[in-house]
Structure 1
Amino acid sequence: MNKVTINPQIQLTYQIEGKGDPIILLHGLDGNLAGFEDLQHQLASSYNVLTYDLRGHGKSSKSESYDLNDHVEDLKILMEKLNIHEAHILGHDLGGVVAKLFTDKYAYRVKSLTTIASKKDDLIHSFTQLLIQYQDDIAGFNKSEAYILLFSKLFRNQEKTMKWYQKQRIYSTKSEDDSAVAIRSLILHKDEPMYLKKRTCVPTLLINGEHDPLIKDKNHFKLEAHFLNVTKKIFEHSGHAPHIEEPEAFMNYYLNFLKSVS
């Protein structure tokens, strides 16, 4: 595994593959870079694809506390150390939230932004609501066990997503304490008021699954107030992970988006 030192306490684990314009893939909450293994291999035929474990995830360094801005600065330093000036950035779930915040702050480093199932407020509240809704079914189980029990609610294609989930668990298992720290970083983050956000022309693709129970506003209307070049796509046969549940359709759509940007 490759590692980059962000500061004396934090190292990030990463993998890089392929040649061409850079693409950076950011995984979701409690996930890790193994979740993008297949997508990285496919994109690497035409692009230089970087995946990495976010701080507090996978095989990157853990810490007792951090916030979303730490993730943003980690990505900036990672790009600098790998001599990546500008990249297409794609994030799923938490990774999409980080990717959007990075674009808000460092738009000149982002060739395009793609977020998948990444509306921050919904990610915070909707899973809790799901736990409450099915509390009788998951009583006595911890969060990881409850996640498995709720798989049929979260994902439409359970066979593909279970393999994806298991691949990440084989690569690295996240403790309950580390998971709590990661969730807290989402909950405690305060967004800037909309009137303070700078307008950006970065080509932006918002992807959601029609059957995702976590994302309520699947059109992300608020994002359009300062993102001026937005494309929206809803995958009709997907839940919370369209890139895993409909991989062929996703790849075709994403590659066409990248070509339109280049």
Structure 2
Amino acid sequence: MSDRHRTTTARLNVYIQGQGFPILGLHGHPGTGRSLSVFTNHLSKRYQTIAPDLRGYGKSRWNGNFAMNDHLTDLEALLDRLNIEKCLVLGWSLGGILAMELALRLPERITGLILVATAAKPRGSHPTITWQDNLYTGIAALLNYIKPSWRWNIETFGKRSLFRYLVQQHTSTTYNYIAKEAVPAYLQTSPAATRALYSAIQSGYNRLPDLPQIQCPSLVLAGDQDRHITSDSSLQTAQHLQNSQWQCYSNTAHLFPWEVPQQVLNDIDHWLEEHPQVIGIQ
């Protein structure tokens, strides 16, 4: 390995659970490998789940700026380090974009894609954010972190905060996930990671024309009220993929796996049963 390669690849912190066929889980922004516990705790009962903190997130610290493509270099190096020849990739939001990029970059290694609240040409419908939104979000997040899923906080601040665009079902289950996984992830996301994401968005990111190259089976899941990455843009992605299945959940938003976890996991299990090739069963 050349010195140049050593300095340009981040050694990612990674959470590994279970045994069996490898499933690589890629978190969103902000996020960490732990943000995927709703998937990994379930899937690791039958498979090996590998959930890294991406460069600049969680415990994968990185000094200096980087570009979105550097995430792919890191992930390829991680697969090599763990001696993973083939894997299924599950990606949520930004993680779903990276999952598609990996399938384009390493077609022989990626057996299938589970794409959650994501799109190859992401479009949002988020209203303008006011100072009250930010204030209520800060209060709601702090109180929820101290006392998870406190009903008074959800009713008083949660439903008036930016959480109203992230979730539709303000349940204790949803707010427990936000307390345990969203807030710590937000605090551990570096400014460089935010810059890398926004510069990609500002450059007009669009991979739709390249999606027909992806041959492996894909499951595309969306929340019908998602304002961050609209369900329409997720549907457009599903339509451009050669071998995809589409599922949209009513009355949910960008964090729908935390709103209707059992429904989502049941649909994933069903898809895996119908596509045994994605978990190495010919």
Aligned residue number for residue 33 of structure 1: 33
Residues 155 and 28 from structure 1, CA distance in 2 versus in 1: closer, same or farther, beyond 3 angstroms? same
Aligned residue number for residue 219 of structure 2: 205
Residues 175 and 209 from structure 1, CA distance in 2 versus in 1: closer, same or farther, beyond 3 angstroms? closer
Q: Secondary structure at the match of 2:246?
A: strand
Say if 2:98 is the partner of 1:98. Answer: yes
Q: Distance in 2 between matches of 1:146 and 1:69?
A: 34
Identity across matched positions, percent: 24
CA deviation after TM superposition for structure 1 residue 163, in Å:
2.0
Q: Distance in 2 between matches of 1:118 and 1:196?
A: 16
Q: Distance in 2 between matches of 1:198 and 1:35?
A: 30
Aligned residue number for residue 236 of structure 2: 221
Map Cα deviations across residues 162-183 of structure 1 (whole Å, 9 max, x no partner).
3222222346723572453243
Deviates more, 1:95-104 or 1:171-180: 171-180
Aligned residue number for residue 135 of structure 1: 130
Tell me the number of residue pairs that the alignment of Structure 1 and Structure 2 aligns.
250
Q: Secondary structure at the match of 1:228?
A: coil
Q: Distance in 1 between matches of 2:136 and 2:68?
A: 25
Aligned residue runs from structure 1 range 139-218, under 5 A: 141=135, 149-158=161-170, 159-168=172-181, 169-170=183-184, 173-174=187-188, 177-178=191-192, 180-187=194-201, 191=205, 199-216=213-230, 217-218=232-233
User: Structure 2: which amino acid aligns with 1:256?
Assistant: H
Map Cα deviations across residues 78-130 of structure 1 (whole Å, 9 max, x no partner).
1111011111100001101111111111121111101111125536x54xx43
Q: Distance in 2 between matches of 1:145 and 1:79?
A: 40
C-alpha contact (below 8 Å) 1:24/1:49 kept by paired residues: yes
Q: Secondary structure at the match of 1:12?
A: coil
Residues 192 and 253 from structure 1, CA distance in 2 versus in 1: closer, same or farther, beyond 3 angstroms? closer
Q: Secondary structure at the match of 2:213?
A: coil
C-alpha contact (below 8 Å) 2:121/2:237 kept by paired residues: no
Q: Distance in 2 between matches of 1:239 and 1:160?
A: 15
Residues 137 and 223 from structure 1, CA distance in 2 versus in 1: closer, same or farther, beyond 3 angstroms? same
Residues 213 and 89 from structure 1, CA distance in 2 versus in 1: closer, same or farther, beyond 3 angstroms? same
Q: Secondary structure at the match of 2:268?
A: helix
CA deviation after TM superposition for structure 1 residue 151, in Å:
0.2
Aligned residue number for residue 262 of structure 2: 248
Q: Distance in 1 between matches of 2:29 and 2:253?
A: 16
Structure 2: runs of 5+ lacking an equivalent: 142-157, 277-282
**TM norm structure 1:** 0.83
**TM norm structure 2:** 0.77
Aligned residue number for residue 71 of structure 1: 71
| Structure in which a larger fraction of residues adopt strand | 1
